[in-house]
Amino acid sequence: MAENTLRPMSAVAPSVAEPLVLRARAPWLVALTWLAPIAVIASQAYFIAASAPDRDMGHLQKIMYVHVPAAWNAFLAFFWVLIQSVRYLWKRDERADLLAAAGAEVGAVLTGLTLVLGSIWGRPTWGVWWTWDARLTSTAVLFLVYVGYLALRGLTDDPERRARWSAAVGILGALNVPIVYMSVKWWRTLHQMQSAPSTLDPTYTWGLRANAIAFLLVLIVFIAYRYRGLLAESVLERQLDEAALSRRVRT
């Protein structure tokens, strides 16, 4: 073919609102990276040491200081996935999709942690590794929803399709969470199973809240770093595409 009279790529007006850019860590993230682990260690140490052993459970009850905050944050992470999924479908901003993915990964880990700890707590308490307790069972279902979400992402290569599809799955999954919880709860009561008494000493409440906040900080930090990782991958692919293109323009 004769000489090339094409305009270079830079002359194309991008339809993406802003280019994806990987910046240096923002100050708040640097601060949190230090603060979060300190907060966790501090609140765990303080409340484990300071709170009295439960009258029935003894020191075992203190596993709640990890189990409950993990559970709360796992559900919070799913809520985050919901928001980012909605944002993606609305604005088609790739960053929302990456934020959702980061949230799902961290959420999945937290959910798994919740289940394992619940099981560990349950063994000495009820004598079994698992009871079909409403909250624990709903958490198990949530875990599977996360796994499905991540599997879908793993099996879909095209980034735009992956973003759209996971957004749909994330939103519907989030819608289902309260419904699943309700159905499992009714199912338990109808079968007249005794709800395992989770009587927590009121002094534990402050400990739970403090630890929950500490875990929230950890959640934020993990999501932020995971997001940055995903963003870096995406920016890299884009740069490779452009490099391939400009090479072709020159030849």
Partner 1 sequence: MAAGEILAIIGHNGSGKSTLLRVAATAVRPTRGSGTVFGADLVKDPQAVRSMLALLSTEPGVYGDLTALENLRFAARMLGVPTDHAPLQRALDRVGLGREGYERARNMSSGMQRRLSIARLLLREPRVLLMDEPYNSLDPDGARLVNELIRETKDRGGSVLLVAHDLSRGEGLPDRVVEMQDGLLAEPTAGPDADSVIVRDVIPLDQPKAHGLRLERGGLR
Partner 2 sequence: MTAPVTLSASLQADWGRVLAVAWKDLTAERRTKSNFNAVVAMAGMILLFFGFALGPDAEGLRNAAAGVLWLTILFSGVLAFNRSYQLELEAGALEQLLLYPGERWAIYLGKLLANIAFVFLVEVITLPLTAVLYHVAFPERWLSVLGVLVLGTTGFVALGTLYSAMASRSRSREVLLPLLLFPMLVPVLIAASGATASLLGGDVMGDSRAWIRLLAAFDAIFIVAATWAFQFVIEG
**Can you give the binding site for partner 2, defined by CB under 8 A?**
89, 141, 144-145, 147-148, 151-152, 155-156, 161, 164-165, 167-169, 171-173, 175-176, 179-180, 182-184, 186-187, 190
Choose the one of partner 2, partner 1, none that binds residue 171, judging by a C-beta under 5 to 8 angstroms depending on kind: partner 2
- Alpha-helix runs per DSSP H in 51-93: 64-91
* Residue 163: partners with Cβ closer than 8 Å, 6 or more residues away: 88, 94, 97
Binding to partner 1 by residue 158, rule CB under 8 A? yes
| 114: nearest Cα among 173, 57, 46, 65 | 65
Applying CB under 8 A, among 41, 160, 172, 182 the residue interacting with partner 1 is 160
**Helix axis angle, 203-250 relative to 27-50, nearest 10°?**
150
Binding to partner 1 by residue 18, rule CB under 8 A? no
Could you tell me the smallest distance in angstroms from the CB atom of residue 172 to partner 2?
6
Choose the one of partner 2, partner 1, none that binds residue 13, judging by a C-beta under 5 to 8 angstroms depending on kind: partner 1
* Residue 1: partners with Cβ closer than 8 Å, 6 or more residues away: none
Applying CB under 8 A, among 4, 49, 197, 250 the residue interacting with partner 1 is 4
Q: CA 190 to CA 188: how far, in whole Å? A: 6
Q: How many CA atoms lie within 13 A of 230 on its CB side?
A: 22
Binding to partner 1 by residue 21, rule CB under 8 A? no
Choose the one of partner 1, partner 2, none that binds residue 145, judging by a C-beta under 5 to 8 angstroms depending on kind: partner 2
